[in-house]
Structure 1
Amino acid sequence: MPVFMVERRFADVLEVDAGAAEGINRINGDEDVRWLYSFLSADKRKTYCLYEAPSAEAIRRAAERAGLPADVVVEVTATVRPDGSLQPV
């Protein structure tokens, strides 16, 4: 399944609890999207999230249903390691 990085900008500080995460995961499941993990900026207004999904459009649909922004959605195919090698995602 393709992997995508999603950048989200929030107008307010982001607070996600277990209940909110459960709701997001339920919506994602409906769209065949799997949330792997997220990085949260120090000011809690931006996240960088890694997902498995059939398409960028599936991520956008899930985000819209969950009331989340999806400002940038980019498919990623490899990681660069500290030794300079490329590893497939």
Structure 2
Amino acid sequence: MKFMDVHRNMQGISSDDLSAAHEADLAIERDEGVHFERAWADPESGTVYCLSEGPSAEAVQRIHERAGHPADEIHRLTLIV
């Protein structure tokens, strides 16, 4: 299953910060059978988006929590073009 998660209140996040957060997820993603494919950020609004694949939204959240940046929302993606 594919998921898009949203992290809020990350105003001012830099490219290096985003890369470090993504790498922290990648380092432990296999523990939950998750793969984080890509991340995007808008430093002005403080919103970060992550695209992942995994068995459940809960598995995605557990990885984010362990990496130190829990998601505010996780949405299952059922239609992708």
Same fold by TM-score, threshold 0.5 exceeded? yes
- Answer with 1 or 2: which has the greater Rg: 1
Matched residues in 1 for 2:51 and 2:27: separation?
Answer: 17
**Higher helix share goes to which structure?**
2
The aligned residue for residue 54 of structure 2 is 53
State the Cα RMSD in Å. Answer: 2.1
Deviations 1:48-84 (A, max 9, x none): 11100100000111011001121000100113xxxxx
CA separation of 1:66/1:44 partners in 2, compared to 1, >3 Å: closer, same or farther? farther
Q: How far has the Cα of 1:40 moved from its partner?
A: 1.0
Q: What is the total number of aligned residue pairs between the two structures? A: 79
More moved, 36-45 vs 11-20 = 11-20
Higher relative contact order (CA 8 A, sep 6+): 2
TM-score, length-scaled by structure 2: 0.79
Which whole-Å CA distance do the structure 2 matches of 1:12 and 1:41 have between them? Answer: 8
Amino acid at match of 1:10: N
Q: TM-score, normalised by structure 1?
A: 0.73
Tell me the secondary structure at the aligned position of residue 69 of structure 2.
coil
Matches within 5 A, 1:7-86: 7-15=6-14, 16=17, 20-43=21-44, 45-79=46-80
Q: Could you tell me how far apart the structure 1 residues matched to 2:31 and 2:59 are?
A: 10
Q: Which amino acid aligns with 1:23?
A: A
After TM superposition, the runs of 4+ consecutive aligned structure 1 residues lying more than 6 A away are none
